[in-house]
Structure 1
Amino acid sequence: APGERELVLGGWNATGCVVPGVSLVGLFEERVGCVPDAVAVVFGSVVLSYGEFGVRVRRLARLLMGLGVGPESLVGVAVGRSVELVVGIYAVLEAGGGYVPVDVDQPVERVEYVLGVAAPVLVLSTSVDRVGLPGSVVVVELDVVDVSGFSGEPISDGERLGVLRGENPAYVMFTSGSTGRPKGVVVSHAGIVNRLLWMQGEYGLGSDDVVLLKTPVTFDVSVWELFWPLLVGARLVVAEPGGHRDPAYLVDVIVGNGVTTAHFVPSMLAVFTAEPAVARCVSVRRVFASGEALSASVASRMRGLVPGVRVHNLYGPTEASVDVTFHEVTDADVVGVPIGVPVWNTQVFVLDGWLRPVPVGVVGELYVGGVQLARGYRGRVDLTADRFVANPFGCGSRLYRTGDRVRWLSGGELEYVGRVDFQVKLRGQRVELGEIEAVLLRYGGVAQAVVVLRGGSGGEFVVGYVVPECGVVVEGLAVVEWVAGVLPGYMVPSVVVVLDELPVTVNGKLDRKALPEP
């Protein structure tokens, strides 16, 4: 209907907001000048004020500039989670470059591929971390290099190799590709600044706030953990390497540092909330979840464990500056948790296969437009053209095709249904695996659920995997029988496997390939 079309294309996408044309560097320097004596970064016993941190960043940046780093150039960062990591990333940006996080624990072949595509001017590392790097790259060892001879004063655009502009890359994040080769997503300063200033406008971090950096820097959630606190005068607490996988350690670091703001991938939030000591985390005010579908039971458990904590469900692809929609969990979210409404200067469209908007309540593919769209994939013009398409609703602009299936809810929020690739044909019927997962989560005592298709050449069958809530016994056969009373026969899992925990990747996301055979 015409009225509904206007609503889904215009009314629910009225997100215009004036954002100053600044870079991450400008925002950070402004804060250093305002609160030089406030604590900026904490890592174990190491504490740096804004002034001290700023001096370290600028000195290293001047070294990098002398080595040819400036706007449009890239620098690899292969450093374990530490103060050096944070200083290194900020210094790359201060010099005008974009940073490329590199995980040296990954196979050598993958590291070589990432560096080959990114073609960085050099790689920041340490004498320990550089072991996993190919010998062909120029490496600056942060634990060895002496930058004391460089000035720690603010750097002007005149000093840089070029003027730093909003369209210049802030970072290149490599994500897994369907071809098996990682894709380097190039995100600009303008895109990530919009994302961070929206976050500050929406959630109002204050100088008394403490943000935990625990996400691996190869995962884009780390971007807001790294930059949001230091753009507003708050404190950044850096978790130990590997600490993001240890609930007991996380409780200790949260309690010991008075952390107020933290992010969890839903899989890890389920593990974290099973830790009884989480009730000690009374300083926590905001918990953000993204990267996977957030179950209502896990969100509810977090809200029940820490009085007053607010749980926020965020959604977004790396190709659109981390997050593009948001929703605060409420008591009304009992069956599922919506992914919410679009952030500033961002449009979200639910379209059919012919790029036409679908009615409210009908499932379609999510397309994203606006200032947060990435420039594209580094060195992959073909892939960029395939995923970033012309916007049929806006002259000269682009949309990113997410591959996610969603629907509009009547109140103007989006509900996540599943991946386009997780929609399968089974015995001639179209089956949405995410729909089966949602039903499994409604079974009493189930904390997490995953559904996959097993078998092949006509003999495919659905397998469910569930993780019970702490202290609850769940029988797989009983779950199958219960689901048979809720879903059509062709959608009922042939078997439900009960696991102690779901396998996760290094980023804390569900690792479907590691699920055991039934």
Structure 2
Amino acid sequence: MLAPGERERLLHEWAVTPGIAPWEGTIHERVAAHAATTPDAKAVTCADESLTYRELDEAANRLAHHLISLGAGPGHLVALSVERGTQMATGLLGILKSGAAYLPLDPAYPADRLAYMLEDSQATILVTHRGLNSTLPTTDIQVVDLDAEHETITGLPSTPPRTGVTATDLAYVIYTSGSTGRPKGVAIEHHTVLHLMANSQTLYGFGPHDVWTVFHSYAFDFSVWELWGSLMTGGRAVIVPHDTTRNPDTMWNLLRDERVTVLDQTPSIFRELVERAAQSSAPPLPDLRWVIFGGEALEPKHVKTWFERYDSPHTRLVNMYGITETTVHVTYQDITADHLTHHTRLPAGRPLPGYQVYLLDEHGNPAPTGIPGEIHVAGGGLARGYLNRPTLTTERFPPNPHGERMYRSGDIARWRPDGTLEHLGRADDQVKIRGHRIELGEIETALLTHPHINECVVTTHESTDGHRRLIAYTVTDTNPSITELRTHLTHTLPDHMVPALFIPLDHLPLTPSGK
């Protein structure tokens, strides 16, 4: 039951933001264009390593020729497992230039999880370097060792190969947590990344003057925005060393020393960074133009210290809601100090240009203003679907009554009276901790493979300092130690999915109906 005119407002005025067409071509062609016009400009740096656009482009071309000789091309997946550094950028760009799509395998992930991704994706080639081969199954896949084959690769042509790859070919596959106990691969095409950046460019004016941080794992979709956002607009990408990402003091110094202008952070990491800087009386960041939030819900506590100590008219904070299946970002909202005084939750904003966001009830009807509904996303950023899972793809990407198709996010939100979105949480048992999407059912499934665990429930708890933690309640026939349980989980789950606490119970509490 909608008020007069409200249906029009919900389905058109608020839900739809007109956009522009994606940039033409492919991701790597955009990067190559900058290599042609500004060849000597710095493209990628990491600690003491540095590559100009010409050096990056030529190194990627050589790697692409090598990959093509091994059978890479459009329709193929090439896995990449390397440590953080300029070689990471070269590897990703080289795979794209071969016409193939890249499958990022973060070496920090457990070997069993990496093995599953390789098997499930059916990748044909693995690009890695010395020291990482032993952690990955390499019996049924062609391996390119960047160290051992360095001379061979550097002897290949530095000119771009011809592959016939188009904007509708796959660019990458990133695996996200799965409710069935196994992660699922999200397949993204070139044009969706080009659509995201073309429409974001109209808002933020990114360009060669910008210095971006690549803070997140390249197996986390935020890295797509960080790395390709920088390189496709002619900026410089600063790949943050792994140790620096864990040290707020060092990270703050890096932002000052590198004169970073675009910082991308999950809210909880940003809070740690700023609160530590305030405690140590660190100087401000005069070059910082944009702080882009994503990965989890932004709350006042995350930005309170910033506005108290480091607020500046030349630095804008932007809250962006997004999903891997919709190519990183969907909505945007400038956050000011006023939001902290007027709202208990910070708004997720309005759809980015070129996107549509509908809040629908369980019957597919638009939810009225102020009433929770499930977020459905349409527009140019939608993924092709889930890799090798047609049934799940059909379920999560249903037809769109107002267009071609849309994505059912599983996220719950409501429209504020001012036409901005307020994110309320998940409709299922998926949670976000430090920006990582986590299916609690996947952790429970992994726990139940332990021979002495009969039943378990995994949930979250927010401590007084505002940090969310995973807690596992277990019913066992013995009393395995916490160390044993953690070790068991680390064989199949990454660190961010291992519970912080394990609480043994004699039995799980049940409702009167036995649930």
Q: Which residue of 1 aligns with 2:264?
A: 263
* 2:83 pairs with 1:80: yes
Deviation at 1:469, TM superposition (A): 8.1
Contact 1:194 1:344 in 2 (8 A): no
Q: How does 1:431-450 map to 2 (within 5 A)?
A: none
Cα 1:400–1:129 shift into 2, 3 Å: same
* Secondary structure of residue in 2 paired with 1:379: coil
The answer (yes or no) to whether the contact 2:22–2:196 under 8 Å persists in 1 is no
Number of equivalenced pairs: 445
Post-superposition offset of 1:111:
1.2
Structure with more contact order per residue of length (Cα contacts < 8 Å, sep ≥ 6)? 2
CA RMSD between the two structures: 2.8
1:67 to partner: Cα distance: 1.2
Once the two structures are TM-superposed, the CA of residue 138 in structure 1 deviates from its matched residue by 1.7
Contact 1:78 1:130 in 2 (8 A): no
The answer on 1:312 being equivalent to 2:315 is: no
Matched residue, 1:356: 365
Match of 1:389 in 2: 398
Indicate conservation of the 8 Å contact 2:109/2:494, yes or no.
no
The answer to whether the aligner puts 1:90 opposite 2:93 as a matched pair is yes
Q: Which residue of 2 aligns with 1:514?
A: 500
- Alignment partner of 1:466 is 2:475: no
- Larger mean Cα displacement after TM superposition, 80-89 or 260-269: 260-269
Contact 2:61 2:97 in 1 (8 A): yes
Partner of 1:340: 349
TM superposition shift of 1:304:
3.6
Rate the CA distance shift 1:207–1:467 in 2: closer, same or farther, 3 A.
farther
Post-superposition offset of 1:31: 1.0
C-alpha offsets along residues 396-453 of structure 1, whole Å, 9 cap, x if unaligned?
Answer: x111110000001122211101111259xxxxxxxxx99xxxxxxxxxxxxxxxxx9x
Residue matched to 1:207: 208
Report the Cα offset of residue 264 of structure 1.
1.3
Do the aligned residues in 2 keep the contact of 1:251 with 1:280 (CA within 8 Å)? no
Q: Calculate the TM-score normalised by the size of structure 2.
A: 0.81
Matched residue SS, 1:232: coil
- Structure-1 residue corresponding to 2:183: 182
Confirm or deny: 8 A CA contact 2:307 2:337 kept in the other structure. no
1:333–1:20 CA distance, 2 compared to 1 (3 A): same
The answer as to whether partners of 1:376 and 1:384 remain within 8 angstroms in 2 is yes
CA displacement at 1:508 relative to structure 2: 11
Which of 272, 284, 288 lines up with 1:284 in the alignment? Answer: 288
Q: Give structure 1 stretches of 5+ with no counterpart.
A: 424-432, 435-451, 453-459, 471-504
Say yes or no: does 1:10 pair with 2:12: yes
Normalised by the length of structure 1, the TM-score is 0.81
- Structure 1: how far apart are the matches of 2:254 and 2:372? 42
* Structure 1 position 412 matched with structure 2 position 419: yes
Residues 42, 238 of structure 1: 8 Å contact kept: yes
Q: Flag the 1:516–1:275 CA change in 2: closer, same or farther, 3 A.
A: farther
Q: For residue 112 of structure 1, what is the aligned residue in structure 2? A: 115
1:138 pairs with 2:145:
no
Gaps of 5+ in 2: 433-439, 441-456, 468-489, 505-515
Contact residue 405 and residue 416 of structure 1 kept, 8 A: yes
Residue among 114, 123, 127 paired with 2:126? 123
Matched residue type, 1:354: H
1:174-210, CA deviations, whole angstroms, 9 ceiling, x for partnerless residues?
0000111000000011111111222222111232221
For 1:183 and 1:79, the matched residues in 2 are separated by: 21
2:59 is the counterpart of 1:56: yes
Please point out which of 398, 401, 406 is paired with 2:405.
398
User: What corresponds to 1:223 in structure 2?
Assistant: 224
Distance 2:360 2:220 in 1: 28
In structure 1, which of residues 322, 328, 349 is the aligned counterpart of residue 328 of structure 2?
Answer: 322
